[in-house]
């Protein structure tokens, strides 16, 4: 297989480990901390996880390794969407396992959790693993979104583990995947299988974080990749001086990606979904907010700009959420067939107008016709609107144009407005990992094996102090149940890891808030450029602006 010069160079890169993990594995001991409890619903979570709840946080330190020596056969699964650095988690796990005993075995289950259930696997060796070091993607074994959540699945997993003599399973995934890891760990403990489960925190969305998990892996690389592209567009906008660029970025449940990209590139506008919800902003108010920037810049002769839109922002607009609920009710059961039988959009529009409340119809009426139709044509298997498919970048540019047309008629706006649209998502999920993610992910995998060796179950691999150079990072583990609360899912109360939203009183948002009014009018763009892998540490090993501000 022919590879690029960059990939060939990256294969030779040696990831940096936390200082204390650089001691030989025989010189790493455990320091136990306090017992833990879940972030909420303690009694309910404890009742659901009697064998794994309340365990102690642990930190690894230099000292004599006191773990019991035994052959380890470890299974590893990549779960959910891709994130840069996943290959290095596997490589770090493999290297630690082999450094302890060359007879240890690492089994990769293919295509996500379904590989465990189907017993579809490969056994890693040096030749195979060396092809994937420091590369992007999850193609080393593939990924999938199968959930491990039923007793039947757990029983199958236990049988497959028993067949291979597996002592531990490492699940590399986001909040849902690590919730499944916690439930599987509890099952294995309750049934005395002897199999441990360790999780690793992954998601480019950045919403798997808390006081213990400073950053999920992949966020650094993905936001740097998007920021390079946004910076390129800003430079183009400032050169051509004739387009407003509306750029949608990943982040359905939280706006961490959008905020980080804004801190990196200083666009004229960046919406933050959590703020939209807190202020109960309407679509019209959001459109006016953007139109104000367009008008002020036009008054200064600048008929161009850049706006960053989080993928899921419309779900945070209260009136839009009510509209979606009413549409789902409107097309419930046989009414969907009645609606679909109507021949023209005019007839369908009359059906909609007759079925929605006046308040929701007022919201529906201001939407561009393409978005109106999308709300009724794109349905999920349950007949509900697929909100994630809404092209919010086009929605807001159309709403802004309508506002500007009104202002032009009123004589308050005399500029020109022409929009371009972009969506940056898949471009960042499998990028070559930054040095930060290459180091962080390798450390997570290496550390996961230390947790296995010391017998921990239902723990998340934890690398902390990440805003400092790697030799100052710390390593350890935290019980996954510490991050959990109860939430309503599909009509049932379920234990899940709490998603971390952008904190409006946090330092990253406060910095953005203090500067955005100036950015909205001025051309204050910054151009991060491509991710740098070789050169001065202050260029190559930069953390995200979010992490740097949080740890000031």
pLDDT at 24: 82
pLDDT at 380: 67
List the domain boundaries for the chain. Answer: 19-174+187-218+430-451+485-497, 223-318+362-429+506-550
pLDDT at 383: 66
In CATH, the number for domain 19-174+187-218+430-451+485-497 is 3.40.50.450
Question: What gap in Å lies between CA 133 and CA 59, rounded to an integer?
Answer: 27
CATH, domain 223-318+362-429+506-550, list 3.60.15.10, 3.40.50.460, 3.40.50.300, 3.40.50.720 = 3.40.50.460
Q: How many CB atoms lie within 10 A of CB 358?
A: 7
- Active site residue ranges: 205
DSSP 433: P
Q: Give me the DSSP letters along 162-215.
A: HHHT--EEEEEE-HHHHHHHHHHHHHHHHTT---EEEEEEB-TT--S--SS---
* 230 within 8 A of 306, measured Cβ to Cβ: yes
Beta bridge partners of 486: 495
Contacts 24+ apart (CB under 8 A), 24-28: 25/65, 25/96, 25/99, 25/100, 25/450, 25/453, 26/64, 26/65, 27/62, 27/63, 27/64, 27/65, 28/60, 28/61, 28/62, 28/63, 28/65, 28/450
* Spans in the chain with pLDDT lower than 50: none
pLDDT at 450: 97
The reply to whether 19-174+187-218+430-451+485-497 and 223-318+362-429+506-550 are identical in fold is yes
* 180 within 8 A of 147, measured Cβ to Cβ: yes
pLDDT at 434: 98
Of 77, 58, 82, 75, nearest in space to 437 by CA: 82
């Amino acid at each position: 297989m022919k590879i690029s010069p960059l990939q060939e160079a990256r294969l030779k890169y040696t990831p940096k480990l936390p200082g204390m993990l650089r001691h030989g594995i025989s010189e790493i001991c455990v320091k136990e901390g306090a017992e833990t409890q879940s972030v909420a619903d303690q009694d309910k979570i404890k009742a659901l996880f009697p064998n794994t709840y309340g365990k102690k946080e642990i930190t690894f330190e230099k000292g004599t390794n006191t773990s019991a020596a035994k052959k380890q056969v470890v299974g590893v699964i990549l779960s959910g969407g891709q994130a840069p650095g996943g290959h290095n988690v596997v490589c770090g796990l493999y290297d630690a396992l082999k450094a302890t005993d060359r007879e240890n075995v690492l089994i990769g289950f293919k295509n996500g959790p379904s590989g465990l259930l189907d017993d579809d696997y490969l056994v890693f060796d040096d030749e195979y693993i060396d092809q994937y070091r420091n590369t992007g993607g999850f193609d080393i074994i593939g990924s999938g979104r199968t959930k491990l959540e039923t007793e039947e699945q757990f029983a199958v997993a236990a049988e497959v583990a028993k067949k291979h003599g597996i002592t531990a399973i490492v699940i590399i995934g986001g909040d849902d995947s690590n919730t499944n890891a916690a439930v599987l760990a509890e099952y294995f403990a309750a049934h005395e299988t002897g199999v441990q489960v360790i999780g690793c925190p992954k998601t480019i969305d950045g919403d798997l974080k808390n006081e213990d998990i400073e950053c999920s892996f992949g966020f650094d690389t993905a936001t740097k990749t998007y920021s390079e592209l946004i910076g390129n567009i800003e430079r183009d906008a400032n050169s051509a001086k004739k387009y407003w660029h509306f750029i949608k970025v990943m982040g359905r449940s939280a706006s961490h990606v959008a905020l980080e990209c804004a801190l990196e590139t200083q666009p004229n506008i960046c919406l933050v979904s959590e703020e939209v919800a807190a202020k109960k902003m309407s679509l019209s108010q959001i459109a006016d907010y953007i139109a104000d920037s367009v008008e002020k810049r036009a008054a200064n002769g600048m008929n161009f700009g850049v706006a960053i839109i989080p993928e899921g922002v419309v779900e945070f607009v209260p009136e839009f959420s009510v509209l979606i609920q009413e549409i789902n009710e409107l097309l419930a059961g046989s009414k969907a067939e009645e609606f679909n039988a109507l021949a023209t959009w005019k007839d369908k529009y009359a059906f909609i107008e007759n079925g929605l409340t006046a308040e929701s119809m007022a919201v529906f009426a201001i939407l561009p016709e393409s978005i109106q139709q999308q709300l009724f044509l794109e349905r999920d298997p349950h007949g509900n609107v697929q909100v994630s498919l809404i092209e919010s970048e086009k929605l807001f540019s159309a709403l802004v144009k309508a506002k500007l047309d009104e202002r032009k008629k009123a004589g308050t706006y005399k500029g020109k407005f022409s929009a371009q649209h972009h969506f940056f998502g898949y471009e960042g999920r499998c990028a070559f990992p930054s040095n930060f993610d290459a180091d962080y992910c390798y450390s997570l995998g290496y550390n996961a094996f230390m947790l296995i060796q010391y017998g921990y179950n239902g723990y998340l691999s934890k690398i902390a102090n990440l805003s400092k150079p790697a030799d100052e990072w710390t390593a350890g583990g935290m019980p996954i149940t510490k991050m959990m609360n109860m939430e309503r899912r599909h009509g049932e109360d379920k234990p899940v890891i709490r998603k971390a939203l952008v904190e409006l009183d946090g330092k990253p948002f406060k910095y953005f808030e203090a500067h955005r009014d100036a950015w909205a009018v001025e051309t204050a763009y910054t151009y991060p450029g491509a991710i740098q892998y070789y050169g001065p540490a202050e260029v190559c090993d930069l953390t995200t602006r979010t992490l740097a501000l949080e740890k000031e």
